[in-house]
Amino acid sequence: MLVQRLRQILEDIRQGRMSVDDALRELRHLPFQDLGFAKIDHHRLIRRGFPEAVFCPNKTPEQVAKIVEAMSQTGVTVLATKANEAHYEAVKKVVPQATYHELARLIVVEGKEPSKLPPEKQPHIVVMCAGTADLPIAEEAALTAEHAGCKVTRITDVGVAGIHRLLEYLPVLEIADVLVVVAGMEGALPSVVAGLMWQPVIAVPTSVGYGASFHGLSALLTMLNACSPGIAVVNIDNGFGAGYLAALIGRMAKGALFQPAEP
């Protein structure tokens, strides 16, 4: 595992068995693994506190399987996003412990040491969506944040067409560290939430909507043009990016930004 090797290098330097220059030369060979068609960034766990994820669209099932297999051998938790059943079946053959979350289209291989934080260091992320049709993207965000060590509360179907449904959850929102708000159609929900609450809001436009929604472009522009301050906007249908960003912000709030899993 990469973390184990890094510990060994540092111990060798401390014991005088390795010079700083020799350590630097070896470290240059650690950052990635070349599979020919892909270069796996194993070093991302060390730089960012979270391992690399696998974006599945336009990759063959065999390519996804080889990448996930190589990553899982290092002991980290692997997330493969926007996966389909064919991707999962190929991964399952080489990594039997892989699980598939059909709603979120997410393949997960739980690491030998999952990225869990002590309770007092776990950020509390609320992931909410405007409508049931937004659930796949909301669940992708929620699962991503959970596998980054966060406590996640899910709130569904609280769009602005029935704003009283959202108001029912204000006590829950008050105690969260970060709010992830997922919406399609006109994408108005993040503006409303940011106008009511004190936390940073991560807005996620979805491609849900009728023709004039332009496959999520309308919601994206609404969120980018929001007059409520404190909103960050990710790309259309990017639940993974929203969950990842929420975890980073939450970890900063809890003083636990950089805590990769122990080997």
Give residue-wise pLDDT tens across range 179-226: 999 999 999 999 999 999 999 999 999 999 999 999 999 999 999 999
| pLDDT at residue 131 tops 70 | yes
pLDDT of residue 41: 86
| pLDDT at residue 262 tops 60 | no
| pLDDT at residue 88 tops 80 | yes
Report the distance separating Cα 150 and Cα 122, nearest Å. 5
Q: pTM of the predicted model, to two decimals?
A: 0.84
What percent of the chain has a predicted confidence (pLDDT) above 90? 66
pLDDT of residue 257: 63
DSSP tag of 96: T
Q: Count how many Cα atoms sit within 13 Å of the Cα of residue 93 in the half-sphere of its side chain.
A: 11
State the average pLDDT for the chain: 89
Token code pair at residue 184 = 């399609």
pLDDT of residue 51: 85
| pLDDT at residue 139 tops 80 | yes
pLDDT of residue 36: 86
pLDDT of residue 258: 53
| pLDDT at residue 261 tops 50 | no
| Own/partner long-range contacts of 189-193 (Cβ < 8 Å, ≥24 apart) | 189/128, 189/130, 189/158, 189/159, 189/160, 190/223, 190/226, 190/228, 190/231, 190/233, 191/222, 191/223, 191/226, 191/227, 191/228, 191/231, 192/160, 192/163, 192/166, 192/228, 193/128, 193/166, 193/228
- Kindly indicate the confidence band of residue 116, based on its pLDDT and cuts at 50, 70 and 90: low
As a whole number, mean pLDDT of residues 40-65 equals 88
Highest mean pLDDT among 15-24, 141-150, 253-262: 141-150
What percent of the chain has a predicted confidence (pLDDT) above 70? 90
22 vs 196, more confident: 196
pLDDT tens digits, 144-172: 999 988 999 999 999 999 999 999 999 99
CA angle 129, 133, 137 (to 5 degrees): 60
Report the distance separating Cα 233 and Cα 98, nearest Å. 31
pLDDT of residue 2: 58
Report the distance separating Cα 169 and Cα 134, nearest Å. 18
